[in-house]
Amino acid sequence: MAEFFEVRTTIGGREQAAELAHGILFSGLATSIDIAEAPDPAPGREAAGWQLTFIAAGPQVAALERHIRQASPDTPVEAMPVTHDLDSYPGWLTDGQT
């Protein structure tokens, strides 16, 4: 299993995206969170959503996915292993994550 994963999802509204990110941050399920307005609407939606990208340690990915699905059951969740060298990451990302 990879040490870190990039987990992505798109949420419909700005407040819902902020609430989800806040809950994940305070539950300690992700090391890093990025929120950006999605460039195109998700299939079946008229308005653009908000794309959330998380970096999570491998053992936390399943719990992170569950947390996302509880907040928004129909949203797609993608998890991809981070495959490049972690030596290039800042110390705050890898501290205590062994």
**Confidence category of residue 68, pLDDT binned at 50, 70, 90:** very high
Euclidean distance between CA atoms 52 and 56, whole angstroms: 13
**Confidence category of residue 12, pLDDT binned at 50, 70, 90:** confident
pLDDT surpassing 90 at residue 23: yes
Give per-residue burial for 35-44: e unless 16+ CB within 10 Å, then b: eeebeeebee
Taking the alpha carbons at both ends of the chain, their separation in whole angstroms is 13
How high does pLDDT run on average in the chain? 83
**Confidence category of residue 98, pLDDT binned at 50, 70, 90:** very low
